[in-house]
Amino acid sequence: MLNTDTTSGFVVVNPSDALALPSRGEVIAGKLLMLIVAILMCIGVVIVYSSGAGWAETKYSSSEYFLWRQLTFSVIGIITILLVAQLDYHFFWKTSKIILVASIVLLTTLLALKAIGRISGAARWIGFGPLRFQVSDFAKYAIIFHFSRLITEKQSYIKDLNNSYYPLLTILMTVVALVAFEPNFSTASLIALIGFMLMFIGGVNMRHLLATFSLLIPIAVVFAIAAPYRMARLLSFTSKDEKVISYQVVQALIGLGNGGLFGLGIGASKQRDLYLPLSYNDFVFVVIGEEYGFVGGVALIALFTGFFVCGLIIAKHAPDNFGKYVACGITMAITLFAFINIAVACHLIPTTGVALPFISYGGTALLLNSLGVGILMSISRYKKRAIEKSVQPEMAEEGAA
C-alpha cells in the first residue's frame, strides 16, 4: 500500500503490500503520453522544415538550417525525457525554492540590462550567442514546482488568508509582474492562470480567488491597452473590416482556407514563404492546416487532447499531493500554450506570441517541455519503482535464508 506523509506529501511504501501495483490505466497513460510526444516532435521536424526552408535559404543560405537544428533539439528532448523519467520527481520538491529564486534573479537581471540600455526592445532572452533561452519558460516551471510544494505543505490550513493565500499570491504576482514588464503580457497572463488554477485545485478559498480576480482584471485590461501594439491587436481582433484586421491574421485565415478538407500536400503551402511571417514558429499551425487540411488540424488537436487526458490520469493516480499538483501544472501549461497558439491561428482570440509546444521552431522551449514530460513519466512510474525497491530486499533475505 502507498501511504502519504501529510507533512511532506511524500510516499511511504509498505513492503507487505507489494501487490498494490499501478493500475492498468496509469501504465497505459504513461506509455501513451510518450508516444504522443514522440509523434508531436516528428510532426514538428517535418513542419519546421516545410515552413522554414525558404526563410532559412534567404537568411542562412541553407534550406536545411532549421531542419537540422529542430531535429537535433528533438533528439535531445527525447533523451531528456528518458533520463528525467528515471529521476525521483521529489528532487524538484527539494530544489523548488532554488529554482524559483534563480528565475526571479534572471528576470530581474533582464529588466536591469534593459534599463541600462544593454538590451533594446523586449527583454525576454538571456545567454550568449546560440546558448540563449527565454527566461519566462523557466519561470513558468519554477512556479509549478514551488506552488506544488507550498500547497502541499500548507494543505492543513490552505484556506487561511494570511498564512497561505497571501504568500502564494505574493510569489505569483512577483513573477507575473517581472514577465509582464519585459514586456511579455501573454506569457505573464498564462503563468498567472496556471498559478491560480493550481491554487484552485489545491483548495484555496474561492472567495479569496474571486476577490483577487475582481482587482486584477481591471489592472490587466489597463496594462493591455497601455501599449499601442497591444491595443492594435485588440482592435484587429474585434474588427470585421479586412483593412483593420492584422496582416498576419488575414494571411493565416487564407492559409487555413487553402487547405480545405485534406490539404494541399506535404511541402505545398503557398503562404509560408511570401505571405505569412513566422510560419515556422507562432503560425506553424497554419502551415499544418494548409498542407494537411481540416483533417490534419483536427488530428493535431486530438493529439494535444490525448496529452491532456493522459496528464490528468497521471495526476489523479499520483502517489502524493506534490506529484498530483506538479502533474496538473505541467499538463495545464503545455496544453494551454498549445490551444492558445491554435486559437490565435484560427482568429478565435487576439494575436499573441505563444509557440506551439513540441512543434514550433525553438530549442529551449522544446527542452523545457521535454523536462516537463519526463517529470510526468517519473510520477507515473514512481509507484512501480518504489514497490520494486521494497520487494528486492525481501527477496534477497529469502534467498539468504
Residue pair 31/25 in contact (Cβ under 8 Å)? The answer is no
> Over pLDDT 70: what percentage of the chain?
84
Confidence (pLDDT) at 11: 46
Predicted confidence (pLDDT) at residue 394 exceeds the cutoff of 50: no
Predicted confidence (pLDDT) at residue 8 exceeds the cutoff of 60: no
Element holding 11 (H helix, E strand) = strand 11-13
Tell me the average pLDDT across 76-101: 95
> Of 30-44, 102-116, 322-336, 385-399, which gets the smallest average pLDDT?
385-399
pLDDT digits (tens, 9 = 90+) for 181-230: 888 888 999 999 999 999 999 999 999 999 998 998 888 888 777 777 77
Q: Is 271 helix (H, G, I), strand (E, B) or coil?
A: coil
Predicted confidence (pLDDT) at residue 113 exceeds the cutoff of 90: no
Count of H-run helices and E-run strands, the chain: 13, 4
Tell me the average pLDDT across 51-64: 79
Confidence (pLDDT) at 240: 67
pLDDT digits (tens, 9 = 90+) for 285-333: 989 999 999 999 999 999 999 999 999 999 999 999 999 999 999 999 9
Closest-CA residue to 386 (of 5, 9, 20): 20
- Mean residue pLDDT across the chain: 84
Tell me the average pLDDT across 155-168: 93
Q: Which residues are CB-neighbours of 372 under 8 A, at least 6 positions away?
A: 141, 330, 333, 334
Closest-CA residue to 334 (of 353, 314, 295, 307): 307
292/265 Cα distance (integer angstroms): 6
- 249 versus 177: the higher-pLDDT residue is 177
Question: What are the DSSP calls for 311-364, one per residue?
Answer: HHHHHHT-SSHHHHHHHHHHHHHHHHHHHHHHHHHTTSS-------TTTSS-HH
234/226 Cα distance (integer angstroms): 12
Residue pair 220/190 in contact (Cβ under 8 Å)? The answer is no
Tell me the average pLDDT across 99-103: 96
What is the length of the chain?
401
Predicted confidence (pLDDT) at residue 18 exceeds the cutoff of 50: no
Confidence (pLDDT) at 7: 45
Element holding 127 (H helix, E strand) = strand 125-128
Closest-CA residue to 11 (of 89, 96, 94): 89
279/270 Cα distance (integer angstroms): 11
192/13 Cα distance (integer angstroms): 35
Tell me the average pLDDT across 29-58: 89
Q: Which three cell numbers stand for residue 182?
A: 519585459
Closest-CA residue to 346 (of 254, 276, 219): 254
238/254 Cα distance (integer angstroms): 18
- 336 versus 381: the higher-pLDDT residue is 336
Predicted confidence (pLDDT) at residue 391 exceeds the cutoff of 60: no
